[in-house]
Amino acid sequence: MPTVDSTLKNLDPATVEGFGKQWKKFDQSVMPEKDIQDEFDGYFEIFRWDLVNEKSVGFDMGCGTGRWAKLVAPRVGHLNCIEPSEALDVARAKLAEFSNVSFYQAGVGDPPLPDESQDFGYILGVLHYVPDAAAGLKECVKMLKPGAPILVYIYYRFDNKPLWFRSIWQASDVVRRGISRMPFRLRGLTTDAVAALVYWPLGRLSRGLEKLGIDVSNVPLSAHRNDTFYYMRTLSMDRLGSRIEHRYTKKEIEKMLVDAGCEQIRFSDRTYWCAVAVKKK
């Protein structure tokens, strides 16, 4: 069974251990296929599928439970799933039917694949949990062949939201720092309570307001108005259970991609901040 390797670079062991436990608890096995597909589409609608085909070889950095890999693997030649935590066990089981998937216990600081060996790559919901996101992105881009696309999703700093909205996030971040240091069982009970008392009411309020024709874009947690309670529990632990959480503006993410050697950068209009880019030739 994979365990946290303390020698891995650019990773916080406590954060990695926490996510390993989280993804074994919330392995997404009860998530409706439609919900998983909808979320996948939210990320991948801007991906450069025109540069990828059934012979392409690529990587899923921080694959977690393998939920995205399960939808990507049928479309490519080979997919390398990279994950530093014990969630790799979950991914192996979820993807057992695919003969074109390999697994590596590694992280952004020590990519296991040779430089310029990959036709594509994606890093979704990972870089904001590592000590140095820019350095991690550079290591991932090194694995790409020139001209290969990469898809990233990084927590944003609400730079498109009003000041009062950002103030709510800053207050919640103080709460996160406390919850994330709790023992895992207590952490789970606490984040479940937050899901029931905060995520669910605000999400369903937003859904009701939207049906009345009201713009809910600035209502906190409105993005989760159609999510199941199971997924809200997952999100609550994801958001409040991590020891490390960095957030970045759109300009900072764009600069990270440019500094890593990417061009043709495009941001999603649907998922902030999700971006696709191509490694310079």
User: Do both 20 and 153 map to the same domain?
Assistant: yes
Contact 109, 11 (CB under 8 A): yes
Domain CATH code at residue 30: 3.40.50.150
Residue 82 lies in a domain: yes
For residues 40 and 148, state if they share a domain: yes
Is residue 191 within 8 Å of 169, Cβ to Cβ?
no
Of 133, 50, 49, 60, which is closest to residue 95 (Cα–Cα)? 60
| Nearest Cα residue to 70 out of 50, 54, 92, 52 | 92
Per-residue pLDDT of the chain (281 residues; tens, 9 = 90+): 445 555 578 999 999 999 999 999 999 888 888 899 999 999 999 999 999 999 999 999 999 999 999 999 999 999 999 999 999 999 999 999 999 999 999 999 999 999 999 999 999 999 999 999 999 999 999 999 999 999 999 999 999 899 999 999 999 999 999 999 999 999 999 999 999 999 999 999 999 999 999 999 999 999 999 999 999 999 999 999 999 999 999 999 999 999 999 999 999 998 889 999 999 99
**Total of domains in the chain:** 2
Is the same domain home to 18 and 62?
A: yes
Q: Tell me if 56 is assigned to some domain.
A: yes
Can you read off the two tokens belonging to residue 87? 């969630």
Q: Same domain, yes or no, for 91 and 73?
A: yes
Decide: helix, strand or coil at residue 151.
Answer: strand
Considering the domain architecture, whether residues 134 and 262 belong to the same structural domain is answered as yes
- Hey, CA dihedral for 215, 191, 127, 85, is it positive or negative? negative
Same domain, residue pair 27 and 105: yes
- Residues 121 and 21 occupy one common structural domain: yes
**Which helix H or strand E contains 149, and what residues bound it?**
strand 149-153
Q: How far apart are CA 158 and CA 147, in angstroms?
A: 31
User: Does residue 30 lie in a domain region?
Assistant: yes
Q: What is the dihedral angle through the alpha carbons of 134, 151, 81, 180, rounded to the nearest 10 degrees?
A: 50
CA separation (Å) from 207 to 37, 225, 261?
A: 20, 5, 41
Please indicate, yes or no, if residue 1 is contained in any of the structural domains: no
- SS3 label, residue 43: helix
Provide the domain limits for residue 22: 13-157+247-279
Quote the pTM value: 0.92
> Same structural domain for residues 22 and 125?
yes
CA torsion 8→11→12→14, rounded to 10°? -70
